[in-house]
Amino acid sequence: MFMNIIKNLISFMVFLGIIALILTTVLHADTPVTQESSIEQVFTQKFKKAPPGEFETVEINGREYRQSKGEIGQYGGELRNSTIGEGPKTFNPWNAKDATSSQMSEMMFDGLVGTDAYTGQVIPLMAKSIDIDKTGTIYTVKLRKGLKWSDGRPITSEDVTFTWNTIIAQGYGNTSARDNSLVNGKMPHVKAIDELTVKFITPKPFAPFLRQLSQNIAPKHILKPVTQKGKEAFSAFWGVTTEPKEFVTSGMFRLARYIPAQRVEFTRNPDYYMVDKKGQKLPYLDKYIFYIVGDINNQVLKFESGQLDVLSISGSNVSRFKELEERSDYKVYNLGPNTGTMFLMFNLNTRKNDEGEYYVDPVKQQWFNDKNFRKAASLVIDRKNAVLNILRGVGAPLYTAESLSSIFLNEKLKDGEPKNLEKAKELLRKSGFSLDENGMLFDKYRNPVEFNLSTNAGNTERESVGVMIKEDLEKLGMKVNFKPIEFNVLIGKLTDSLDWEACIMGLTGSPLEPHSGRNVWSSTGALHMFNQRKGKDLLTKADLRDWERELDEIYEKGATVLDFEQRKQYYDRYQEIVWEYNPLIYIYSNLRIIAVRNKFKNVAPTPLGGALHNPEEIYVAD
C-alpha cells in the first residue's frame, strides 16, 4: 500500500514537472530588449508563464528607480538559505570559479541586464534602456540616473567601460566572461559616449551578446589601482578574509559578516535602485543569510529544525516532504527539469607541466583517450537504475550536453542508448583490452585497468552516483578507487593542478543560451576540464583532437547566426560530437523540488528563475 502511494506520488511529481514548462499563455511581456530574430520568440514559447505586470522606471528626486512588480510588502525579518561544502573561496565576482563564490558575489553586484524569470527575455537592470541598431552590431546602453556605489560615489559609464575593457577583455580573474564574449577571436569595442551612455560594437552580429551584458559592473575607482598591480593582486583582492566594510558594491545586499565554515550574512542595501509601487526602497528583508552546511543530510536536518527557510529537496526526500506539507509551515514547489547537468569525465590531458612531468600517468592517458574506452563506460552506466534508486524516480536519464529543459536540446539524442554490457565489452576488445581468469581488465600491454574516481564530499547525491558508477564500471573488470574530496580542493585539481583521473561533476547551464557553455567546450575555455589548457598551452592548438577543433568552430560560427532554426543546427551538431566521443558522460536530470516557508510573501517560483529569483520583493508577513 505504502509503495503504491509513493509510486503514485512520483508519477504526479513528474507530471507536474512537465506541466511547469507548458502551463499558461503569455498575457503580458515586460519591456524586453530584443533583436530582430526568432530566438526570443522561441524563448517565450518554451517558457510560457504570465509575469505579474511590468517593471517600470520611476523618477524620485532626480533618480531613476526600477519599480517592482510584486505586491507591497513590509520591512524587516531575515531569510535563511544554505550552501553545501566549505563556503566561498572569494567574494570577488570577477574571480569566482565555483558556484558558491558566484552566488555570494551576485548578492552584492548587478549587471546592466538580467533575464526575465517568467518569459526568458532580456530586461534592463542597471541599464535604463538598450538600443540595438539595424545592423545588429551596435548596442547603445543608457544607465539609470542616480545609480550609486555603496560608498556614495556615482555609477557611471566609466565603470562600465573599465569593467569591459580592462577586467573582462584583459582576462583578469576568471576568464569565462572574456571567452564567452569573443566574436571571431575579438572582443567588442566599448566606449563611453557621455556620463550615462555606453556604446558596444561587435565585429559582426552576435546572438548571445545581449545576455553577455549581464556581467557584473565593477567600481573603477576601487579596482583600477588593483588591476595596475597585476592579475595576481586582482585575484587576491576581496578574498574571504576581507573586512565587510571594505567592499564597495551595487547590489541589493551588502556583506555584513562571514564566519568561515558557518555562515555568510548579508544586510539590505538602503540605497538600492529599486522601489515598490509606493516608492519605498527595496529590498524589504533586513538580512539574507547563507548557512554553510557540510552535506545534504545536515541541510535537511537544519530545515526540519527550523534553522533554514529554504530547502532544495533531493529525490529520496520528495515523498516525505510532500506528505508532510499540509500540516507543516512550508510549501513545496516543483520547478521542472533541472537546468544543470551531472556527468562523469576522464582526464584526457596528454601534456606535461612546467616541471616536465605528465599531468596524467601516460598508461592511463592511453585508456582515457581511447574513444571505445569512454563509450564502453557510457554503455555500462545504468542511468535508469540511478533515477529509480538515487532520485526515487523524480527525474530522467540524461544523454546529451544540453539539459532536458533546453530549447536547443537535440531531440534525436535525448533518449540515448540503453545500458548494454555486451556491447561495452566488445568495444573494449576492439581496443585490445582483455579480461583475465579473475575478471580483471587489462590493456594490450598487460597493464591492469585501475584508476581513481572523485567527486565533492558532502553532496550525498553525487556520492551515491559515485558508488553506482564504481559498481557499474567494475562489471567491465575495471578497478575503481572512489574517494570524495572537499569541493574547493576538487576545483583546484580540475582547473589548476590538473592532478586527477576521473571525476563526477555538475555544471549549471542556461536553457536559453548554449553559448554560455563556450567556456566548457572551447579548447581555451576556463572550464574545458577534460583537457584543461593553461599558460603556454593556450598559445598552440597543435595537440587538439579533430573533434575539439570542430567544437571550437561550432562555437565561433553558431554565435554569429541570428535565426533560431539555422543556429540550432550548429548546436545539434555539438551535441552529436559529445554523444559520439564522450568527453563528458551524462547521467541524469533531476526535477527541481524546493520547499519555502509560508511566512514569506511575493514568492513566485518559475522554471527559469527558481524559487527565489526576486529576493528584493520577498518579505516576511506578520
pLDDT tens for each residue of 156-172? 999 999 999 999 999 99
CA distance linking residue 253 with residue 108, whole number of Å:
5
Q: Find the range with the poorest average confidence among 269-283, 347-361, 467-481.
A: 347-361
pLDDT grade, residue 54 (50/70/90)?
Answer: low
Please report the sign of the dihedral spanned by the C-alpha atoms of residue 492, residue 494, residue 499, residue 500: positive
CATH ID of 341-591, from 3.40.50.720, 3.40.50.300, 3.10.105.10, 3.20.130.10: 3.10.105.10
Contact yes or no for 416/343 (Cβ under 8 A)? no
CA distance linking residue 418 with residue 580, whole number of Å:
15
CA distance linking residue 568 with residue 318, whole number of Å:
35
Give the model's pLDDT for residue 211: 92
Work out the average pLDDT over 500-508: 94
pLDDT digits (tens, 9 = 90+) for 113-126: 999 998 888 999 99
Position 2 pLDDT exceeds 60: no
Inter-CA distances, 435 with 425, 432, 475, Å: 10, 10, 11
Contact yes or no for 559/550 (Cβ under 8 A)? no
Residue 101 identity (one-letter amino acid): S
Work out the average pLDDT over 498-524: 92
Work out the average pLDDT over 209-220: 96
CA distance linking residue 142 with residue 115, whole number of Å:
18
Bridge partners, residue 60, by sequence:
63
Which residue is it, cell 522606471? Answer: 57
Contact yes or no for 218/95 (Cβ under 8 A)? no
Give the model's pLDDT for residue 340: 86
Bridge partners, residue 607, by sequence:
none
pLDDT grade, residue 509 (50/70/90)?
Answer: confident
Work out the average pLDDT over 13-34: 32
pLDDT grade, residue 16 (50/70/90)?
Answer: very low
Give the model's pLDDT for residue 51: 46
pLDDT grade, residue 35 (50/70/90)?
Answer: very low
* Three-state DSSP state, 276: coil
**DSSP code, position 402:** S
Q: Find the range with the poorest average confidence among 50-54, 432-436, 514-518, 567-571.
A: 50-54
Contact yes or no for 464/482 (Cβ under 8 A)? no
Give the model's pLDDT for residue 370: 98
Work out the average pLDDT over 254-283: 97
Position 243 pLDDT exceeds 90: yes
Position 34 pLDDT exceeds 70: no
**DSSP code, position 290:** E
Give the model's pLDDT for residue 111: 97
Q: pTM (2 decimals)? A: 0.81
Give the model's pLDDT for residue 539: 63
37 vs 552, higher pLDDT? 552
| pLDDT-above-70 percentage for the chain | 91
